[in-house]
Amino acid sequence: MATGTTIEWTDTTWNPVTGCSKISPGCKNCYAERMARRLQAMGQRNYRNGFRVTMHEHMLQAPKRWKRPRNIFVNSMSDLFHPEVPFDFIRKVFGVMGETPWHQFQILTKRSERLVEFAPELPWHPNIWMGVSVENEIYAYRIDHLRTVSAAVRFISFEPLVGRVRSLNLTNIDWVIVGGESGPGARAMRREWVVEIRDKALAASVPFFFKQWGGTRKKKAGRLLDGTIWNFLPGARHGVVAPVPA
């Protein structure tokens, strides 16, 4: 059974791995950790270990049962390239993605060093989108790592964006997502940080997706940037950005 999601840029999630550990400032108020603890308390089998990294062999074949094509976010509750995930298991995940070409798979990691290490040994099927998370200038090096990967779509998620990214190079990048932090303890995102990234994406003809302003009350903060909802997706560089009254 597919897992529903409120993530605006995907259709569903697939979690053959759950659990993670903090690696950089973007992890401080991790939504997945909060959710995993809640699911553990509810007795959900896949979260019996709470937020400890756990592989779920029984989840590997799930996309084969989903006959309708969909965008699938891989490991929304973990990081596929976490050091506690064995390479053999990563290869199994890639194998399933290759066997289900009617889906598009979206992978997102903060462990770009491990991504670069394993990328040459993985089959980069055309339905696999690879992304890195970048929360501020310090971690922009992850974009350079991503550029070396032979994925059909390379994307950056600036979420939660907690600082300015000055030296942004979008060469060979196919999609940009920006979002603020949401939930308890959410850190504020400044408008000028968002606009700077948006303008660089537009100048480079890279599709720009604005996910949310974030804050402790996500729905109230909304998705409008300069009176517009920005919903560009990869392959839709000339699509329509629907204006919405401010």
Confidence at residue 220, expressed as pLDDT on a 0 to 100 scale: 58
Q: What is the DSSP string of 112-138?
A: HHHHHHHGGGS---TTEEEEEE--SGG
What is the model's pLDDT at position 241? 43
Q: So what's the pLDDT on residue 168?
A: 97
Give 37's contacts (C-beta < 8 A, 6+ positions apart): 50, 51
> 178: helix, coil or strand?
strand
Structure tokens at 176: 């940009």
Q: Residue 154 and residue 93: Cα distance in Å, rounded?
A: 18
Model pLDDT, residue 215: 84
Contacts of 219 (CB under 8 A, 6+ apart): none
| Cβ pair 128, 152 in contact under 8 A | yes
Q: What is the pLDDT, as a whole number, of residue 211?
A: 95
The whole-angstrom separation of Cα 205 and Cα 202 is 5
> Which pLDDT score, from 0 to 100, does residue 78 have?
98
User: Measuring CA to CA, how many Å separate 104 from each of 12, 31, 188, 207, 246?
Assistant: 11, 24, 32, 17, 33
For residue 178, the model assigns a pLDDT of 98
Instruction: Spell out the per-residue pLDDT of the chain, length 246, in tens.
Output: 455 567 889 999 999 999 999 999 999 999 999 999 999 999 999 999 999 999 999 999 999 999 999 999 999 999 999 999 999 999 999 999 999 999 999 999 999 999 999 999 999 999 999 999 999 999 999 999 999 999 999 999 999 999 999 999 999 999 999 999 998 999 999 999 999 999 999 999 999 999 999 987 655 578 999 999 999 999 744 333 443 333
Cα–chain center distance at 213: 16
Cα separation, 120 vs 115, in Å, equals 9
Dihedral pair phi/psi, residue 130, rounded to 5°: -115, 130
Amino acid at 241: V
Task: For residue 142, count other CB atoms closer than 10 A to its CB.
Answer: 23
Helix ranges restricted to H, the chain: 31-41, 62-65, 87-99, 112-118, 141-147, 191-203, 218-221
Domains present along the chain, CATH in parentheses = 12-221 (3.80.30)
Q: What was the pLDDT predicted at 7?
A: 85
C-beta separation of 130 from 151 below 8 A: yes
Phi first, then psi, for residue 72 (nearest 5°) are -120, 120
Nearest residue to 122 via CA among 153, 154, 151: 151
First to last CA, the chain: 38
Provide the 8-state DSSP code for 155: E
CB 46 within 8 A of CB 76: no
- Hey, what amino acid is at 147? R
Please tell me the predicted confidence (pLDDT) of residue 5: 66
